[in-house]
Amino acid sequence: MATRRSSKGPAAAALPRERRAHYPIAIVGPGALGLHYAARLARVMPTALVARSTARAAQLRAGVTVGARRLRPHAYGPENLPSADWVIILVKAQDSLPAARVAARMAPKGVLSLQNGLVEELLRKRLAGIRAAQGVTTEGAYRERGRIVPAGHGETLMPRGYAPLARMLRRAGFEVRIERDLAAARLRKLLVNVSINPVAALFRVPNGRVIEAPYAHFARELTDEAAAVLAAEGLRIGATQAWERVVAVARATANNRASMLQDIVAGRRTEIDFLTGALIRLAARHRIAVPTHRAFYRLIRLLEQSKSERRAAT
Ligand SMILES: NC(=O)c1ccc[n+]([C@@H]2O[C@H](COP(=O)([O-])OP(=O)(O)OC[C@H]3O[C@@H](n4cnc5c(N)ncnc54)[C@H](OP(=O)(O)O)[C@@H]3O)[C@@H](O)[C@H]2O)c1
């Protein structure tokens, strides 16, 4: 991969600010999904990858396996950022603010989050003056023993105004759609996430089990409550249709372990505040009771805390 203004590759990262490297596209967050996007993009254009630290960037530059290929990304830490035309944010929702700060420093034409949870408002506030939106992706990838495993093709949705970014992603082989009603698409994804992930994480079961007895009872209650809230938000969806959607996704991803489950098992913070927490905030706005979501929210937070307490004690 070569940079557009410099042919020195990763070493260009050390150049003084006024001569910093420039990329058509940068990805903030070199995790499972960030590396999946970066690996495909890097085959067709210079792609910058921004890590949490300089040390992590150096590790990545040494190489990382994505699918069947070894990727040696143009990785940067926050101290020596390149500039970029378009930035995609793929950190976990709770890391959105520092990621947005980093994105702004790359002076982009636009920033697109492809995160789960509801983060658009937060990103727009932090990126005032820069085009910013939260898209939706059904691409999937997970980490396994130090490598990234792509988990099936999906679709990437973004709003109007992002056509140049859409073209770049299509060149890299992604299926991309410019979506007029992105808010509705985000709410539909939220419905599925808040109905499956907390059940999978609490009972430590793969997605497919969530819609089977005895777990289906909880998933159905979460779906019914969420459907009422999302309908009040303007989403055209009834309880039956909502449940059919949840069942279809659980079946299509039956063997997957939800990211919330993976986070709980690994002792990491989950995205619960931006998923169930976001739904609870919407419910409060519409004065709709969501007791099952509140219970699952508390239980997942308890699990997160007990894990971090156990880690602190060792
Ligand atoms: N994986 C999927 O299949 C999938 C599908 C759809 C949507 N999503 C959503 O996409 C987002 C990313 O998911 P993921 O599975 O890729 O998570 P992940 O594997 O945990 O990756 C997140 C990455 O962000 C990095 N990071 C955190 N703070 C950062 C910062 N300030 N600057 C740069 N990098 C930073 C983390 O670095 P450290 O490792 O150093 O902490 C980590 O590498 C989430 O919102 C998720 O819900 C994921």
CATH number at residue 243: 1.10.1040.10
User: Residue 84 pLDDT more than 70?
Assistant: yes
Q: Tell me phi and psi for residue 176, to 5 degrees.
A: -125, 140
Q: Are residues 22 and 147 in the same domain?
A: yes
Q: Are residues 270 and 213 in the same domain?
A: yes
As a whole number of angstroms, the distance between CA 51 and CA 28 comes to 7
Looking at residue 200, its pLDDT comes to 98
What dihedral angle (degrees, nearest 10) is formed by the CA atoms of 296, 302, 306, 308?
Answer: 90
Q: Which atom of ligand 1 is nearest to the CA of 114?
A: 10
Q: Are residues 214 and 171 in the same domain?
A: no
Residues with CB under 6 A from ligand 1: 28-34, 50-52, 56, 90-93, 95, 98-99, 102, 115-116, 137, 140-143, 151, 259, 271
Choice from 36, 50, 52, 97 to test ligand 1 binding pocket (greatest atom count within 8 A of CB): 52
Q: What percent of the chain has pLDDT over 70?
A: 92
What separation in Å is there between the alpha carbon of 144 and the centre of ligand 1?
A: 14
User: Residue 4 pLDDT more than 50?
Assistant: no
| Residue where a domain stops, chosen among 133, 163, 180 | 180
As a whole number of angstroms, the distance between CA 111 and CA 88 comes to 6
What separation in Å is there between the alpha carbon of 312 and the centre of ligand 1?
A: 23
As a whole number of angstroms, the distance between CA 28 and CA 38 comes to 10
Q: Which atom of ligand 1 is nearest to the CA of 93?
A: 45
Q: Is 103 within a domain? A: yes
| Residue where a domain stops, chosen among 156, 180, 204 | 180
Looking at residue 3, its pLDDT comes to 39
Q: Please, which pLDDT band fits residue 9 given cuts at 50, 70 and 90?
A: very low
Q: Please, which pLDDT band fits residue 308 given cuts at 50, 70 and 90?
A: low
Beta pairing, strands 175-178 & 155-158: parallel
If one counts the domains in the chain, the total is: 2
Q: What is the pLDDT of residues 144-200, one digit of tens each?
A: 999 999 997 899 999 999 999 999 999 999 999 999 999 999 999 999 999 999 999
Q: Are residues 205 and 172 in the same domain?
A: no
Q: Is 19 within a domain? A: yes
Q: Which atom of ligand 1 is nearest to the CA of 140?
A: 3
Q: Tell me phi and psi for residue 121, to 5 degrees.
A: -60, -45
Q: What is the pLDDT of residues 209-245, one digit of tens each?
A: 999 999 999 999 999 999 999 999 999 999 999 999 9
Q: Is 4 within a domain? A: no
What separation in Å is there between the alpha carbon of 24 and the centre of ligand 1?
A: 21
Looking at residue 306, its pLDDT comes to 82
Q: Are residues 172 and 43 in the same domain?
A: yes
Q: Which atom of ligand 1 is nearest to the CA of 56?
A: 40
Q: Are residues 174 and 206 in the same domain?
A: no
Q: Is 3 within a domain? A: no
Q: Is 1 within a domain? A: no
Average pLDDT estimate for 80-101: 98
Q: Please, which pLDDT band fits residue 310 given cuts at 50, 70 and 90?
A: low
Domain that holds residue 291: 183-313
Token code pair at residue 95: 């890391």
Q: Whose CA is closest to atom 21 on ligand 1? A: 31
Indicate if the alpha-carbon torsion angle 224, 226, 229, 233 is positive or negative: negative
Q: Are residues 29 and 146 in the same domain?
A: yes
Q: Are residues 190 and 284 in the same domain?
A: yes
Q: Is 2 within a domain? A: no
Q: Are residues 174 and 189 in the same domain?
A: no
Q: Is 48 within a domain? A: yes
Q: Are residues 253 and 108 in the same domain?
A: no
Looking at residue 152, its pLDDT comes to 77
Q: Please, which pLDDT band fits residue 19 given cuts at 50, 70 and 90?
A: confident
Q: Which atom of ligand 1 is nearest to the CA of 115?
A: 45
Average pLDDT estimate for 28-33: 97
Q: What percent of the chain has pLDDT over 90?
A: 90
Q: Which atom of ligand 1 is nearest to the CA of 78?
A: 32
What separation in Å is there between the alpha carbon of 274 and the centre of ligand 1?
A: 14
As a whole number of angstroms, the distance between CA 35 and CA 288 comes to 39
User: Residue 2 pLDDT more than 70?
Assistant: no
Average pLDDT estimate for 89-102: 98
What separation in Å is there between the alpha carbon of 91 and the centre of ligand 1?
A: 4
Q: Are residues 128 and 206 in the same domain?
A: no
CATH number at residue 77: 3.40.50.720
| Residue where a domain stops, chosen among 151, 180, 209 | 180
Q: Please, which pLDDT band fits residue 304 given cuts at 50, 70 and 90?
A: very high
Indicate if the alpha-carbon torsion angle 308, 116, 58, 145 is positive or negative: positive
Choice from 27, 81, 91, 194 to test ligand 1 binding pocket (greatest atom count within 8 A of CB): 91
- Write the DSSP symbol of residue 197: H
- Write the DSSP symbol of residue 24: E
Looking at residue 311, its pLDDT comes to 65
Q: Are residues 36 and 131 in the same domain?
A: yes
Q: What is the pLDDT of residues 58-74, one digit of tens each?
A: 999 999 999 999 999 99
Q: Is 268 within a domain? A: yes
Q: Name the average pLDDT for the chain.
A: 93
- The answer to pTM > 0.85 is yes
